[in-house]
Amino acid sequence: MDPDDWGYFLSRTFDEWQKRDVGHVLVNVFETAVVQMMGRAAQTCVTAEFCGKALAVEHDGEVYSCDHFVYPEWSLGNIRATHLGEMAFSARQQRFGYGKRDSLPAYCRQCRHLKLCWGECPKNRFVRSPDGEPGLNYLCSGIRRFHDHAAPVLRQFARQSA
């Protein structure tokens, strides 16, 4: 997927949603942006400051930090041997969760949309920022395009909902 096409798609879909569907059709990415514009926490992990609240449990009982990170290096243990709560609140899982915010490149930390995006999902952070720093989200330009486009309406929705 081309990142700019993603931003175009989100923007056009947002336009249709805000004209016809607000209050009738839930589009989580848009609803979450309104909530975040109100200064509240994200409703989804993708746009939250921290990750790690959606563990993945495989059929064999193996538990992973996230369903996007079901790889041996992200295993927290097995529910046959360790209580799920112990894994969910472990120091390792906390490092995983805070790593989302703490690993952002300076380009993201300086972005006017930081509190609406938080670098999106770390699984997509595999390109370099314009200044060469690793860890930029592949979809960044599209996400910025969407937030530049939608911000005035999102602010209006946030004021009306406050």
Question: Token pair for residue 158?
Answer: 């946030």
Verify whether residue 131 is a known catalytic residue: no
Q: Is the dihedral of CA 78, 45, 18, 35 positive or negative?
A: positive
Residue of 21, 67, 102, 131 marked active site: 67
- Count CB-CB contacts under 10 A for residue 60: 8
Q: Which amino acid is at 26?
A: L
Q: Hey, what are 67's tokens? A: 């369903």
DSSP 8-state class, residue 139: T
- At 59, list the tokens: 């059929």
Helix (H) or strand (E) holding 136: strand 134-136
| Torsion angle, alpha carbons of 91, 92, 94, 96, to 10 | 160
What's the farthest any 2 CA atoms get from each other in the chain? 52
- Active-site residue set: 67
